[in-house]
């Protein structure tokens, strides 16, 4: 039987929770949360966009109606995350973890049995709300458990989501295209897996929340909203870079008569390299600091951003690997950095870094699409090349880790 959430841990368990962690060690429970994050983002951020052609065919949708599915998904998951984070800063509950992720995975899976377009929108809305609830609470749990290994722990959590996002289109290509939308019902087993992964960490997370309530001094430090606003802008620049490559590079290749399947495969390579960068960047940030890792990530990505639309063949693969690795190596780092800039509102900071910024990425995609309609895809990639430059300049005024209360 699981211990009560508010109960005192045993001496052995308390020692395991309170013992300082080496800078490279991550609690096993964070790996479980990473697995749940993979399943969450596999379904909502990976599978749903790839399903749009199937939804459109099954329900005879216009392009605008198909796009509305993504809009609903984005609004309910990404844009709602800061609100959920703000609320859970004041009312954290360990059971938000299994509730959020199981709603997300099951919501998308059940669209396989949706009788109408309205049901698809309703189920995607449910999935998005579940995702929005899961993300800030998972980031809070990781923050409380990390000890000095903040970057490494957050990297483990975030790389699960990045891998899920990258694997979503492959899952649709390999499975759902063969079975049709009804095949999505088979993914209900993933909802059970997510429930088991998060349910297993409830006693552990409950103890962390109990300890945090007894030790409010652990959240000492003043908020720096001006610095957080700058960091949000940097993350938006990065998000626009990511969504610009993932969304518009296959179109550019199509103009050059390169098969769409190859373009999608190169997009997968880009996102997979980003997942590797997320993990290694988090590890490195524990040693050199968040600001320097973020600045280095932006500066290193600049030449590759310019090369992306020019390269072909093996050079294109190498360029996309280098660009994905460099530009996304700060993904977990900015979550930790945001939490350090807003120590009294960790959930809100996490929601802004992950959810709100991803939502702004959707806005960026719309703006870039409008630019492509007016000036062509070449203009889009010119803008994308300047985004890391803007991100680097915005990073310069940010405070160094050592000046922040509670810095690792």
- pLDDT for position 394: 95
d(CA 381, CA 372): 9
The yes-or-no verdict on residue 13 having pLDDT over 50 is no
Calculate the average pLDDT of the chain: 82
Percent of the chain exceeding pLDDT 90 equals 31
d(CA 336, CA 284): 13
Coarse DSSP helix, strand, coil percentages of the chain, rounded to the nearest 5 percent? 80, 0, 20
The tens digit of pLDDT for each residue in 348-391 reads 888 888 777 777 776 777 788 778 888 888 888 899 999 999 99
The CA–CA distances, whole Å, from 13 to 18, 97, 211, 395 equal 9, 21, 12, 40
Task: Report, in angstroms and rounded to the nearest whole number, the Rg of the chain calculated over CA atoms.
Answer: 21
pLDDT band at 400 (very low <50, low <70, confident <90, very high): confident
- pLDDT for position 215: 57
The yes-or-no verdict on residue 2 having pLDDT over 50 is no
Please state the rounded mean pLDDT for residues 221-242: 88
Q: What is the dihedral of CA 331, 336, 338, 339, to 10 degrees?
A: 150
Quick check: 118 and 190 in contact, CB under 8 A? no
The yes-or-no verdict on residue 131 having pLDDT over 60 is yes
CB-facing half-sphere around the CA of 166: CA atoms within 13 A: 20
- pLDDT for position 271: 82
d(CA 150, CA 406): 11
pLDDT band at 248 (very low <50, low <70, confident <90, very high): confident
d(CA 251, CA 235): 24
The yes-or-no verdict on residue 398 having pLDDT over 90 is yes
Range with top average pLDDT, 16-20, 47-51, 390-394 = 390-394
Burial (CB count <10 Å: 0-12, 13-18, 19+), residue 332: buried
Percent of the chain exceeding pLDDT 70 equals 88
- pLDDT for position 25: 66
Which residues are CB-contacts of 117 (< 8 A; sequence separation ≥ 6)? Answer: 55, 59, 61, 65
Please state the rounded mean pLDDT for residues 106-131: 94
The tens digit of pLDDT for each residue in 267-312 reads 778 888 988 998 899 888 888 888 999 999 999 999 999 998 888 8
Please state the rounded mean pLDDT for residues 175-188: 88
Please state the rounded mean pLDDT for residues 321-329: 93
């Amino acid at each position: 039987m699981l211990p009560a959430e508010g109960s005192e841990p045993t001496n052995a368990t308390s020692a395991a929770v309170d013992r300082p962690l080496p800078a490279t060690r991550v609690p096993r429970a964070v790996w479980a949360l990473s697995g749940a994050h993979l399943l969450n983002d596999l379904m909502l951020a990976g599978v749903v966009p790839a399903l749009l052609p199937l939804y459109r065919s099954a329900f005879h949708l216009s392009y605008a109606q198909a796009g509305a599915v993504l809009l609903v998904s984005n609004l309910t998951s990404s844009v709602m995350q800061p609100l959920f984070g703000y609320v859970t800063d004041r009312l954290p509950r360990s059971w938000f973890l299994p509730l959020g992720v199981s709603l997300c995975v099951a919501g998308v899976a059940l669209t396989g049995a949706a009788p109408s377009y309205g049901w698809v929108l309703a189920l995607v809305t449910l999935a998005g709300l579940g995702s929005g609830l899961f993300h800030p609470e998972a980031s809070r749990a990781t923050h409380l458990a990390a000890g000095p290994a903040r970057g490494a722990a957050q990297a483990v959590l975030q790389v699960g989501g990045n891998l899920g996002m990258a694997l979503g289109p492959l899952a649709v290509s390999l499975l759902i295209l063969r079975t049709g939308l009804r095949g999505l019902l088979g993914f209900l087993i993933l909802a059970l897996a997510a429930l088991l992964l998060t349910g297993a960490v409830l006693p552990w997370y409950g103890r962390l929340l109990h300890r945090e309530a007894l030790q409010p001094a652990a959240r000492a430090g003043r908020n720096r909203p001006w610095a957080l606003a700058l960091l949000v802008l940097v993350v938006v620049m990065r998000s626009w870079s990511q969504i610009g490559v993932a969304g518009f590079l296959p179109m550019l290749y199509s103009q050059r008569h390169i098969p769409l399947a190859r373009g999608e495969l190169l997009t997968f390579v880009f996102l997979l390299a980003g997942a590797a960068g997320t993990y290694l960047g988090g590890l490195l940030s524990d040693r050199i600091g968040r600001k320097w890792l973020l600045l280095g990530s932006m500066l290193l990505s600049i030449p590759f951003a310019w090369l992306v639309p020019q390269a072909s063949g093996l050079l294109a693969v190498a360029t996309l690997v280098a660009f994905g690795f460099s530009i996304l190596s700060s993904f977990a780092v900015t979550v930790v950095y945001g939490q350090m800039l807003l120590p009294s509102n960790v959930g809100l900071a996490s929601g802004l870094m992950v959810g709100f910024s991803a939502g702004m990425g959707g806005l960026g995609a719309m703006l870039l699409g409008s630019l492509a309609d007016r000036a062509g895809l070449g203009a889009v990639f010119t803008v994308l090349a300047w985004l890391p430059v803007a991100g680097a300049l915005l990073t310069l005024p940010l405070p160094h880790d050592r000046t922040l209360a509670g810095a690792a």
